[in-house]
Chain A
Amino acid sequence: MSEQPIFNDSFFAMGTRCDVVFLNIEQEFGEQIFHLIKNEVTHLEHRMSRFIPDSPLSELNKAGKNEWIPVTDDLWNILTICFDFYQMSNGAFDITAAPIIKLWKSNKPPTKDEIEKAKQISGFDKVEFDFENQKIKFKTDGLEFDLGAIGKGLALDSIKPIILKQGIENGIISFGESSILALGKHSNGKNWPLGIRNMYNFNKFVHVFSTSNETITTSATILNTDDGGVKKRKHIISPVSGLPVEVNKAVSIKSESATLGEFLSTSFLILPENDKIILSEKLKKIEILEVEYLDDNNFKSKLTIL
């Protein structure tokens, strides 16, 4: 058995489980840091969730058409980052796309008319920013923000400086194993080897990321179920076309920022090849793993290192 003390605990937030593992740390100190993390995530969730009726985001979502609404600093920073992401991705990453996404949650595919109607009440281009006075205005009724696609990334990026400030050097913070921050080194002194599972062969990996002070985020249209089976989902929807991504694909991103990682993993599922190349030109110190699962239980993968 290892003599290095390990701290390990977890809590539930943002619709998933957050696991915390610290190396070389006394239990009591680990608990203190764990509570700092939990408080930060809870605080973020209470401010950024559209499912909490009185959260600042929910309050913002209640705004009517053509009403200038002042926005708090923290929310403003997030909304403007998301607006940048929207522009960088040609609309593929859009936190106002909830009405379109909701259509595809029903058992019956939506009609063209329904998609068009949903598109009329979504789209970041229907949000106007007053950068001088930190206000926003919806140009249409029914518009609302949903930070679900980026929430866990925001949480990891918020947690990271808090932990580092406390002198924590080595550890893992994982939201449901899809958004992971790997701090420092593994107990053997090497980078953390984070392996992306082959969804067709649960015990094998399609790639292993060597990770230190970086994050790995994954988005996919194909999922492993709890019993190791494979489930194809139509839950990644292109806000531009209003249609689901039909290809069975998973995208994993290694980057310093988990927020950026969440943006890229979603965008690379949706964007056509040309747009991905244009977007990639703006990126540095990023690794992008794209895995396409074929019908014959094989897969093809592509690793782009920027």
Chain B
Amino acid sequence: MESKIKNRRDFLKEMGVYASSTAFLASIPWLDAFAQENGKNVAASDRVRIAVIGVGSRGRALLMNLQQVENVEIVAVCDNYEPHYSRAIELTDGKAKAFYDHKKMIDAVKDIDAVVVATPLHEHAHIVVDCLNADIHVFCEKAMARTLVDTKLMADTAIAKGKILQIGQQRLFNPVYLNALERVRAGEIGQITQVRAYWHRNADWRRPVPSPELERKINWRMYNEYSGGLMTELAAHQVQVANWYIDKVPTQVMGSGSICFWKDGREVYDHVALVYDYPDGSKCTYDSMIANKHHGLEEQIMGNLGTIEPEINRIYSENPPQAPGIRQLVHDIESSIFDVIPIGGATWIPETAVQYRGDVIAPYENNDSFLQFVGFAKAVKNNKPYPNLLREGYHATIAVLLGLQAMDTNEIVAWPAEYVMEKDV
């Protein structure tokens, strides 16, 4: 049977599609670190010992991805909800020690290198801070936290302790996004003036509840106390992409949110529309709803020379190659030349003509959730955070929380200076 374990070599192979530009690699330090590692052998004993806290639907998926990463050992699992606790034990064949309380886990399992936190959003901050203070590296699902203060506290703690705090923005490790980013930086789509991002679903977003008293625990995403709804769960992914490609921190955000369709007692918006402004005048327009899925999700990155749609792996030119005869015709007229217009040449071959549906950005198997863990395991092994990686996750969370604030107050919200994280040199 073929091993399901993937290794760093697979990752590098996928990364190989864009590793041409030194300047680009320098702008993506977490990949630069990979490149430097290429060719080194890892001793079998040199394992990364990881614990998973929160093994709900996302946590389960993360756990299963982690199990595929070479030289990673799941040493402990933790969940305070019995069915998930039992499931975590089952998933790890009883080999991982199981806990209901993360503090007891930290005390009991002394040699944990890192934790993966995938609890409900409002639980992130105190668990992450506890782990960082115990000198444990952390991978935390996005968004970082429910409040601005908690988000900053998490980032400040990681920086102060010199520990890794990697946020689950997996597009940062996705070969399609990375290849597209290189092409953006090389000027292929010109100046980005707008990122139009959206995520549309058609479902109530509820999970089945075994008994009524568990409603708020199971359906935590419906309640403001625990969740920012569509903003923290979906927008965080896509606004991160906008910030990353535009390569700036927004200056302000305006927006409008409503409970438009699912009037079932939920507190979080089921429909949001926002505009983020950037210092150079570019914008990210964002909308999300859960009453129509026709358009699905996308981040349309629009420059004056082209457009990138990374979710469907497509790049489009504003000026796709022209048929040669027509190209000559336009040139001749512009140059006041009156010449024969050649037709019936190469381009008219009906068999080779294609629909212009853009070009594929990069061949890619969709496994960025796995790739982010390959990157995380590598960083943990090196005991060193990747420069600027936390910054991406941090600004994504600050952006969605400020967006919520704009919608809640119906006011334009400026990005406070104290929430800007400067780039590492």
Contact = CB atoms under 8 A, between A and B. Distances in A.
Asked if A and B are interacting partners, one says: yes
Interface stretch (B53-61, B86-94, B325-333): B325-333
Interface of A: 1-2, 4, 6, 8, 10-13, 15-17, 19, 21, 23, 148, 172, 174, 176-178, 180, 186-188, 190, 192-197, 202, 205, 208, 216, 218, 220, 223-228, 231, 233, 235, 250, 252
A187 B333 contact: yes
28 contacts: A1-B336, A10-B322, A10-B323, A12-B355, A15-B353, A17-B353, A17-B356, A21-B330, A21-B333, A148-B350, A172-B329, A172-B341, A177-B323, A177-B343, A177-B344, A177-B345, A178-B343, A194-B340, A194-B341, A195-B340, A195-B341, A197-B344, A216-B343, A218-B344, A220-B344, A227-B346, A235-B351, A250-B344
A15 B335 CA distance: 31
Nearest to B336: A2
Contacts of B320: 10, 17
Nearest to B355: A12
Contacts of B329: 21, 172
Interface string B356-389: 1100000000000000000000000000000000
A195 B356 CA distance: 26
B347 interface: yes
A252 B344 contact: yes
Given A6-B333, A224-B346, A225-B349, A192 B338 contact: no
A15 B356 CA distance: 9
B351 A19 contact: no
Contacts of B357: 12
Contacts of A228: 346
Contact of B325 (A4, A16, A177): A177
Contact of A19 (B326, B339, B350, B355): B326
A231 B351 CA distance: 12
Q: Shortest 8 CB-CB distances between A and B: which pairs?
A: A178-B348, A12-B356, A16-B353, A195-B340, A19-B326, A177-B348, A176-B348, A177-B343
Given A19-B323, A177-B343, 5 more contacts: A1-B335, A6-B330, A8-B326, A148-B350, A205-B342
A249 to B, nearest CB: 13
A174 B330 contact: no
Contacts of A250: 344
Contacts of B322: 10, 19
Interface in B112-167: none
Contacts of A4: 333
B354 A15 contact: yes
B352 to A, nearest CB: 7
Interface string B221-241: 000000000000000000000
A174 B335 contact: no
Contacts of A188: 338
Interface in B279-302: none
Given A176-B350, A252-B344, A2 B333 contact: yes
A193 B340 contact: yes
B334 interface: yes
A21 B323 CA distance: 12
Contacts of B342: 195, 197, 205
B340 A2 contact: no
Given A4-B333, A10-B320, A172-B329, A218 B338 contact: no
Contacts of B336: 1-2, 187
Contacts of A16: 348, 350, 353
Interface centre among A11, A180, A208 (most CB of B within 10 A): A180
Contacts of B341: 172, 192-195
A224 B323 contact: no
Nearest to A23: B333
Interface string B69-112: 00000000000000000000000000000000000000000000
Contacts of A231: 349
Contact of A17 (B338, B347, B351): B347
Contacts of B354: 12, 15
